[in-house]
Chains A and B, each alone.
Chain A
Amino acid sequence: MTGAAAAMPRRLGTISRRGLARALCWAKVRWDAPIMQCARLLPEACPVLTAVLAALTFVNAVAPAATIVATGLMVGSLPATVHAGLASAAGHRTLMALGFWAGLMMLGEICPRLLTATADSASSRVESRVQERVIVALNRPWSIAHLEDPRTADLLSQVSGLGVGAVGPGAAVSALVTTRIPMILRSVVSGALLFAYSWPATLLLFAVQFVFVRQIRRSWVDDAKTLLGKTETVRRADYYRDLALGAATAKEMRMLSLSDWLGGRLEREWMTGLLQEWRQRRRGMIAGVAGAIGMSLAGLAVYGLLAGDAARGVITIGALIIYLRAAQAIGGWGLSGADYAIEYGSAALPALRELEARTADVSLAALKTLPIDAPSREVRFDNVTFAYGAGVPVLRDLSLSVPAGSSLAIVGLNGAGKTTLVKLLARLYDPTSGAVTIDGVDLRDVDPAVWRGQVAAIFQDFLRFGLSARDNIGFGGLELAADEGALERAAGKAGVIDRIRALPKGWDTPLMRQFTDGADLSGGEWQRVGLARALMAVEAGARLLILDEPTAALDGRAEAELYDRFLELTRGLTTILISHRFSTVRRADRICVLDQGSVLELGSHVELMTLGGKYAELFTLQSQRFAEAEAAK
């Protein structure tokens, strides 16, 4: 007996602790729900607008309830006024209620308008904020491995919006603040009014409502989840559309008549996702309809009770109207129609978080810095092996030394690993094993930003910024971007200065015609711009120049002109040149023949020709056709 009595509070304690733990757990789950993550972006993206939104939301919730009360008071006072006339005290009450009612009606009309406008501004800020965070996250890693990871592409697709309509976080925030929150608040305020009439009736309506809302929401949550699992399918459908409609593939589409086939593929990809969604939505709809029937049954009970009470005189006509409208307003919540936008749009947030987690900084502790003239002795590859991800090694146990100030040309068959070697040198990747060292310092121990300050590069697939000529070249050396002289020198050496001067707005002309005053450059001109960008980096102090097929888009004459100045361009620099054209390769101090990811031959043109190996064979292949021609002459 005493034992049991003593156990009681303990058990109660356990229960309440367990209850507390469960409540906390529930709260945490809710707090981490995508839409909550989305909502937390609001104060982050626009604190002032968020405060305005909060105030407007509050007014927006209270005004309709107050209107209900005013309507009730107005109508309720009417019988007495009919009896005593407008000039009486009852008449004054009627007029006063009318005045209130009128004011509230105006407020109730204007406030949602302001709310919508504010939400529109806020949602576009949220959308930009998300994109800004994506940019920051994508730019953070020193390597580019994450940009080649399909998971990153999945996440980017999710961040940009879900579903055929690409519903994004802005739409979710907008639905939340203009629809869901006001509806819930209105329900609660109305519930408080009805509570004065009958608490069981209020609880009944709320309970049914809760089940109803949950059912509908859950179906959309499942729907969004299904779609998230199909991101790759969606990306593939997008890819087919791009192929069919993009300008880059326009010629092939017409030559090969691929449009029908691609349309079929596009539809197939979409359908695999959609069919499952439709099944889920149908289940959701059935649950929703069941809920709505439950709601109207509960409504039937409450309305009937109210009508009976009023007819029997238990409550006044005014009170009847207040309670009736309040009971109706409780049910509005489940019909807001906001769930679709909220569940689809907020899916961007977990994707953003995952992206940020995946690109979080790898600690770059104890970093060494390099002297500003590095490399001053040599650039060295020590037994470097490298594979992309888990793939086949592209470079195998490669060792190579480039003395500072000299030029090295790399030749090799397609897929021999030339470009990969250059990527390791710019530290866009780290070797899988072995090391790249600069004057004896392992690149892994150097701050990538510091090292890249020493590197100038033009890649095979160099960039075409849709920005001004100034940006396109100035981006090579940001710290010199204001230095017109440096820009002119870089453009001059690359042989593109005359073209830039002839542009409609000179250096400030955007280099894409889609932009106002923009101009299109030819492939060869673009390549010179890319080269000028690399030379701008040299102006800014870079000491290692990487030229990966820098003349592929130039014609014979232009190429010859450029290489005639090869020595001038590379004076004092350590230069790595990749080219298929042996007539240019031979100008380098040394030539390295790559085969299957390792060094096959290394030496000057004369040495390698004497050696009579692979290089000599390849060179002869190209030159003999000229030689034959000479002979034929």
Chain B
Amino acid sequence: MTALEKVRGAARSLATITKLGFGAAPARMSLAILAELVGAGFALGSTYAIKFIVQEAAARHVLGAVWAAVALALTAGVSAVAYLVYGSLAPKAIELVTLRLDHELIRLTNRIPTLEYHDRPAFADKLALVRQSRQALAGSIQVIGLSSRTALLSVGAIAIMASIDLRFLLLLLFAVPRIFAGVRAQKLTRASQDAYAEPVRLRAHVYGLVASATAGKEIRVFGLQKALTDRFLGLTMQIRRERDRANWGGAGWLILGDAAFMGAYVAAIGWVVIRAARGEIGVGDVVLTATMAAVLVGAIALVVLIGQYLPTLMLTIERFHWLEDYAQAAPEAIKPQTPPPAVLARGIEMDSVSFAYPDRDVSALSDVSLTLPAGGVIALVGENGSGKSTLVKLLCGFYRPTAGRMLVDGQDLAAMPMEAWRSRVCATFQDYANFELLLHESIGVGEIARLGRKDLVAQALDRAGGSALAGLQPDGLDTLLGRKWGGTELSGGQWQKLALARALFREGPLLVVFDEPSAALDAAAEHEMFARFATEARSGAAAGRVTLLISHRFSTVRMADAIAVLDKGRLKEFGTHKALMANGGLYAELYELQATGYR
């Protein structure tokens, strides 16, 4: 990176921060900066006042000296007030910016239509880093005030020094090694941060395990308490070694830089003192230059601090920009866009669809051609890793096929606004989420526009075979779920019924996907659900609704109109239960396997 690019990068970072700060808290940011400037200006003024006190006292002007003392008290007082105001405003501005950043992160992350961070660890890592640095990013708005103060202090201090003797400007040359040292220290810090990023993550993982009740069971049953504590301590030592090395190495560089600048400064003052001793300049000027030392050193330290801080900050902001660009660059729908049809007339077709996850060599789906006819109930079966869930992800628009097309009533799915399409799909996934909200909210989020409609929630719950949950202790539909809030904890099967109800809460879907809908359900609940399933599917058939069912349970699967059998990403068999059984292929084999268990 050239120096120019670096400067440009720094400028862009500052611009982003400024936008962020002023966007979230305009009044507070302006006031905070004003307070910084007033504080710095009056601090310079009070240094000058001391010079006058000494001068006037040396000249035996009692009144003049006292007035100068008054000026000192006033300037120092104003500076202190400004500082206090800043100290009270800054945290509030940071809090507002953090909130704004939360919103931005949520917005940007959810704009990414694909699920790469679900499936790609490197991406997940990067996203986690952005999340972690949001506080650092919010705190960075202080840089604006700090920079203003630094600029004023540096210019003021230099002007005052130059007013005594222009040759003092030479001192600025000695700030160069100081800045160089700052850069070196920063490099060490970054290198060490990279080195301990992984142990830090692992340590957080161990800490999280110990604090979770789920893990707590196994930790106790297997007696892992000490093993995990030892692991934690080992990682801590590893992190500590890296951190300490950077910390002390950096301090060494900074001390060298400090010594270079202070050496020059002290020499300059020595020269001033000798000139004063020769009677060439006044005593007041000696006091001023000596006092100015603190101001100038402080100003340079601030410059260096900002210089040191900026690269870290830029790194943080770059990550944020990366997310912004990523969300921006998400594959837009092919133009012209077509909204999803009101009802399905033909159905959903997969036309020689292939798909490989990014960064993976093996195709998850290869050349799958399959028609899900309007109004039909299709079952999808296959062994672990055969591509069933991938197919669902493509249907939900989480990914675009690597080759081939997905057609909804003949319209390319890629040309549909994703949000509009998804609002017509309802799906329960194998790894469905448990929303620990109020019971009715946990279902109502299925269609946010109808959140709060408890009557509809009760209906959905009923259709999902969970009407008993409506009477959940202690508050029925208003029961708070999740033990972490002191609410009611549900069993695995109950959570699954909730997930089903959430999917069924949606109105008028074109596609309904149930991925392993009964894995955690007991036999009776499963049976009841299938009976409802059939009715549900038929009731939507008029609107052309397609129901896609994924299950390992072949007793369920056979009620579908047609069954698609996937094997290693390829469509192996397709047909009715009867036809496939007669065929004697993979489906028949798997079916037999399960049926024997019940003979």
Q: How many A-B residue pairs have CB under 8 A?
A: 488
Q: Given A110-B259, A320-B57 in contact, is the A515-B222 Cβ separation under 8 Å?
A: no
Tell me if A94 counts as interface (CB < 8 A to partner B): yes
Q: Is the CB of B523 within 8 A of A625?
A: no
Pick the contact of A251 from B228, B262, B396 — CB < 8 Å? B396
Q: Which residues of A contact B162 (CB under 8 A)?
A: none
CA distance A477 to B218 in the complex (A): 12
CA distance A511 to B199 in the complex (A): 15
Interface of B is mostly: helix
Which residues in window 78-105 of A have CB below 8 A to B?
A: 78-79, 81-82, 85-86, 91, 94, 98, 101-102, 105
Query: Scoring B residues 138 to 159 as 1 if CB is less than 8 Å from chain A, else 0, what string do you get?
Result: 1100000000000000000000
Q: Which residues of A contact B94 (CB under 8 A)?
A: 164-165
CA distance A584 to B229 in the complex (A): 38
Q: Is the CB of A132 within 8 A of B222?
A: no
Q: Given A132-B232, A295-B77 in contact, is the A125-B240 Cβ separation under 8 Å?
A: yes
Q: Given A138-B210, A164-B95 in contact, is the A255-B425 Cβ separation under 8 Å?
A: yes
Pick the contact of A292 from B80, B211, B398, B552 — CB < 8 Å? B80
Tell me if A31 counts as interface (CB < 8 A to partner B): no
Q: Given A75-B287, A79-B283 in contact, is the A255-B581 Cβ separation under 8 Å?
A: no
Pick the contact of A98 from B233, B250, B273, B488 — CB < 8 Å? B273
CA distance A626 to B554 in the complex (A): 8
Query: Scoring B residues 84 to 109 as 1 if CB is less than 8 Å from chain A, else 0, what string do you get?
Result: 11011001101100110011011101
Tell me if A48 counts as interface (CB < 8 A to partner B): no
Q: Is the CB of A257 within 8 A of B91?
A: no
Q: Is the CB of A166 within 8 A of B60?
A: no
Q: Is the CB of B87 within 8 A of A455?
A: no
CA distance A244 to B104 in the complex (A): 11
Query: Scoring B residues 542 to 586 as 1 if CB is less than 8 Å from chain A, else 0, what string do you get?
Result: 000000000010111010000000000000000001100100000
Q: Is the CB of B240 within 8 A of A128?
A: yes
CA distance A16 to B382 in the complex (A): 87
CA distance A244 to B213 in the complex (A): 23
Q: Is the CB of A622 within 8 A of B110?
A: no
Query: Scoring B residues 233 to 254 as 1 if CB is less than 8 Å from chain A, else 0, what string do you get?
Result: 1001000100110011011001
Tell me if B332 counts as interface (CB < 8 A to partner A): no
Tell me if A24 counts as interface (CB < 8 A to partner B): no
Query: Scoring A residues 101 to 113 as 1 if CB is less than 8 Å from chain B, else 0, what string do you get?
Result: 1100110011001
Interface hit among B48-56, B367-375, B408-416: B48-56
Q: Which residues of A contact B278 (CB under 8 A)?
A: 82, 86
B474 to nearest A CB, angstroms?
A: 9
Q: Which residues of B contact A106 (CB under 8 A)?
A: 259, 262-263, 266
Q: Which residues of B contact A128 (CB under 8 A)?
A: 236, 240
Q: Which residues of A contact B223 (CB under 8 A)?
A: 449, 452-453, 478
Tell me if B169 counts as interface (CB < 8 A to partner A): no
Q: Which residues of A contact B431 (CB under 8 A)?
A: 248
Tell me if A43 counts as interface (CB < 8 A to partner B): no
Tell me if B435 counts as interface (CB < 8 A to partner A): yes
Q: Given A251-B429, A257-B419, A560-B593 in contact, is the A131-B69 Cβ separation under 8 Å?
A: no
Query: Scoring B residues 207 to 228 as 1 if CB is less than 8 Å from chain A, else 0, what string do you get?
Result: 1011111111111111111011
Q: Which residues of A contact B68 (CB under 8 A)?
A: 307
Q: Is the CB of A320 within 8 A of B54?
A: yes
A393 to nearest B CB, angstroms?
A: 11
CA distance A152 to B483 in the complex (A): 11
Q: Is the CB of A281 within 8 A of B92?
A: yes
A162 to nearest B CB, angstroms?
A: 12
Q: Is the CB of B73 within 8 A of A317?
A: no
Tell me if B356 counts as interface (CB < 8 A to partner A): no
CA distance A274 to B24 in the complex (A): 15
Pick the contact of A241 from B60, B102, B283 — CB < 8 Å? B102
Q: Which residues of A contact B541 (CB under 8 A)?
A: none
CA distance A298 to B383 in the complex (A): 83
Q: Which residues of B contact A308 (CB under 8 A)?
A: 62, 65-66, 69
Tell me if A254 counts as interface (CB < 8 A to partner B): yes
Q: Which residues of B contact A156 (CB under 8 A)?
A: 211
Q: Is the CB of A139 within 8 A of B109?
A: no
B343 to nearest A CB, angstroms?
A: 20
Q: Which residues of A contact B274 (CB under 8 A)?
A: 86
Q: Is the CB of B229 within 8 A of A110?
A: no
Chain A CB within 10 A, most for which of B80, B251, B473: B80
Tell me if B124 counts as interface (CB < 8 A to partner A): yes
CA distance A419 to B214 in the complex (A): 12
Q: Which residues of B contact A255 (CB under 8 A)?
A: 396, 422, 425-427
Q: Is the CB of A132 within 8 A of B229?
A: yes
Q: Is the CB of B210 within 8 A of A557?
A: no
Tell me if A475 counts as interface (CB < 8 A to partner B): yes
| Residue of chain A at shortest CB distance from B89 | A285
Q: Is the CB of B211 within 8 A of A414?
A: no
Q: Is the CB of A292 within 8 A of B81?
A: yes
Chain A CB within 10 A, most for which of B290, B393, B526: B290
Interface hit among B3-11, B306-314, B334-342, B489-497: B489-497
Q: Is the CB of A296 within 8 A of B80?
A: yes
CA distance A248 to B106 in the complex (A): 15
Q: Which residues of B contact A466 (CB under 8 A)?
A: 202, 205
B7 to nearest A CB, angstroms?
A: 27
Pick the contact of B287 from A254, A321, A618 — CB < 8 Å? A321
Tell me if A197 counts as interface (CB < 8 A to partner B): no
Q: Is the CB of A558 within 8 A of B240?
A: no
Q: Which residues of B contact A328 (CB under 8 A)?
A: 76
Q: Is the CB of B91 within 8 A of A311?
A: no
Interface hit among B13-21, B113-121, B344-352, B532-540: B113-121
Tell me if B170 counts as interface (CB < 8 A to partner A): no
Tell me if B198 counts as interface (CB < 8 A to partner A): yes
Q: Which residues of B contact A335 (CB under 8 A)?
A: 80, 83-84
Q: Is the CB of B106 within 8 A of A263?
A: yes
Q: Is the CB of B81 within 8 A of A289?
A: yes
Tell me if A117 counts as interface (CB < 8 A to partner B): yes
Q: Is the CB of B485 within 8 A of A263?
A: no
Q: Which residues of A contact B273 (CB under 8 A)?
A: 74, 78, 94, 98
Q: Which residues of B contact A263 (CB under 8 A)?
A: 102-103, 106-107
Tell me if B270 counts as interface (CB < 8 A to partner A): yes
Q: Given A91-B277, A466-B205 in contact, is the A317-B54 Cβ separation under 8 Å?
A: yes
A456 to nearest B CB, angstroms?
A: 8
Q: Is the CB of A523 within 8 A of B558?
A: no
Which residues in window 176-230 of B have CB below 8 A to A?
A: 198, 201-202, 205, 207, 209-225, 227-229
Q: Which residues of A contact B65 (CB under 8 A)?
A: 307-308, 310-311
Q: Which residues of A contact B57 (CB under 8 A)?
A: 307, 310-311, 317, 320
Q: Which residues of B contact A244 (CB under 8 A)?
A: 106, 109-110
| Residue of chain B at shortest CB distance from A250 | B118
Q: Which residues of A contact B488 (CB under 8 A)?
A: 391
Tell me if B432 counts as interface (CB < 8 A to partner A): yes
Q: Which residues of A contact B54 (CB under 8 A)?
A: 75, 310, 317, 320-321
Pick the contact of A340 from B87, B385, B436 — CB < 8 Å? B87
Pick the contact of B117 from A78, A247, A285 — CB < 8 Å? A247
Which residues in window 353-388 of B have CB below 8 A to A?
A: 382-385
Q: Is the CB of A256 within 8 A of B446?
A: yes
Known: A320-B53, A583-B594. 20 other contacts (CB 8 A): A121-B243, A235-B484, A244-B110, A250-B115, A251-B396, A251-B433, A259-B109, A259-B110, A289-B85, A299-B77, A414-B520, A415-B494, A522-B385, A524-B385, A558-B384, A560-B593, A619-B598, A623-B599, A626-B554, A626-B555
Nearest 3 CB-CB pairings of A with B: A583-B597, A296-B77, A414-B493
29 A-B pairs in the complex with CB atoms less than 8 angstroms apart? A78-B286, A94-B273, A106-B263, A109-B262, A138-B216, A147-B216, A164-B138, A243-B433, A255-B426, A266-B106, A267-B99, A293-B77, A307-B57, A324-B53, A388-B483, A419-B491, A466-B205, A475-B222, A476-B222, A515-B201, A549-B520, A552-B519, A556-B594, A557-B383, A583-B598, A621-B523, A626-B595, A629-B581, A633-B578
